[in-house]
């Protein structure tokens, strides 16, 4: 059962963190700093005041535009803030302890990775490796998977996609699968154990195929697939399946 007070707290923390993560998603791939200096409008470079930085609320009041120059505020900000607020509310409201914090951290990180991969085909080590570490530590309170199964999952998850990547490169002479995907699957193995890996891969593959067919990109032999985004989306459904089977 969701606890209203802790759910509200989780939503507030999620919305605030989402504001930072949205900026990270937009600026990091461009090599722009996000942790130093005060926030400024991308259009006119005006330093933003506190009232401009209230997650969700400020953008709605300003109708999605800068108060000074009228430049459009990227809607990704609001979407990530809302997504992180929902994740925080469900995770911490449903499990108001260290396990809930673990689920929230997992959800926030996977959301960030999914968007980065969807937009830029990039799964940075600075996110995937800490995610694996969290799976072997705080993840112990979030899911009841024993440590040895987590370690096995991390090794098998990374090793399986690494082998596919190296095999494809040897056969075709070019990269076909990024190592970021292997590291992400290894991180998910650290969270959910080796038992969840087949289901994560199956669901992610089905999602990827469906999107490629609907978008028409499957007709192109050189079309790129943000497989990491689909791995992130497949994590929770796969875990639910594992709970029902095991």
Model pLDDT for residues 88-132, shown as the tens digit of each residue: 999 999 999 999 999 999 999 999 999 999 999 999 999 999 999
Angle at 13 between CA 8 and CA 14, to 5 degrees: 95
Confidence band (pLDDT; 50, 70, 90) for 147? very high
**What is the chain's Cα-based Rg?**
19
pLDDT in the model for residue 125: 97
For the residues 143-162, what does the mean pLDDT come to? Answer: 97
Q: Do 196 and 188 form a contact (C-beta atoms < 8 A)?
A: yes
Q: Cα–Cα distances in Å, from 128 out to 57, 87, 153, 242?
A: 31, 19, 15, 22
Whose structure tokens read 């978008």?
215
Coil vs helix vs strand at 222: coil
In the chain, pLDDT over 90 holds for what percent of residues?
Answer: 65
Indicate the length of the chain as a whole number: 246
38-82 tens-digit pLDDT: 566 665 666 665 565 677 777 776 766 766 666 677 889 999 999
Residue with the two structure tokens 């130093």: 36
């Amino acid at each position: 059962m969701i606890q209203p007070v802790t759910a509200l707290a989780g939503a507030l923390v999620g919305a605030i963190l989402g504001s930072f993560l949205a900026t990270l998603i937009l600026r990091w791939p461009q090599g722009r700093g996000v942790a130093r200096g005060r926030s400024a409008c991308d259009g006119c470079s005006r330093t933003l005041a506190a009232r401009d930085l209230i997650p969700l609320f400020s953008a709605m009041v300003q109708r999605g535009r800068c108060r000074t120059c009228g430049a459009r505020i990227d809607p990704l900000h609001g979407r990530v803030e809302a997504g992180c607020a929902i994740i925080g509310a469900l995770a911490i409201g449903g499990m108001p302890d260290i396990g809930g914090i673990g689920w929230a951290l997992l959800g926030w990180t996977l959301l960030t990775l999914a968007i980065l991969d969807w937009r830029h085909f990039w799964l940075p080590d600075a996110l995937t490796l800490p995610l694996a570490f969290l799976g072997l530590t705080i993840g112990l309170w979030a899911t009841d998977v024993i440590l040895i199964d987590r370690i096995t999952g991390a090794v098998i998850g990374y090793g399986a996609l690494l082998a596919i990547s190296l095999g494809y490169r040897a056969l075709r002479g070019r990269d076909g699968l990024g190592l970021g995907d292997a590291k992400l699957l290894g991180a998910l193995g650290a969270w959910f154990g080796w038992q969840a890996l087949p289901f994560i891969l199956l669901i992610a593959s089905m999602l990827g195929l469906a999107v490629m067919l609907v978008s028409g990109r499957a007709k192109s032999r050189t079309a790129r697939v943000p497989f990491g985004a689909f791995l992130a989306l497949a994590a929770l459904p796969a875990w639910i399946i594992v709970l029902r089977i095991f």
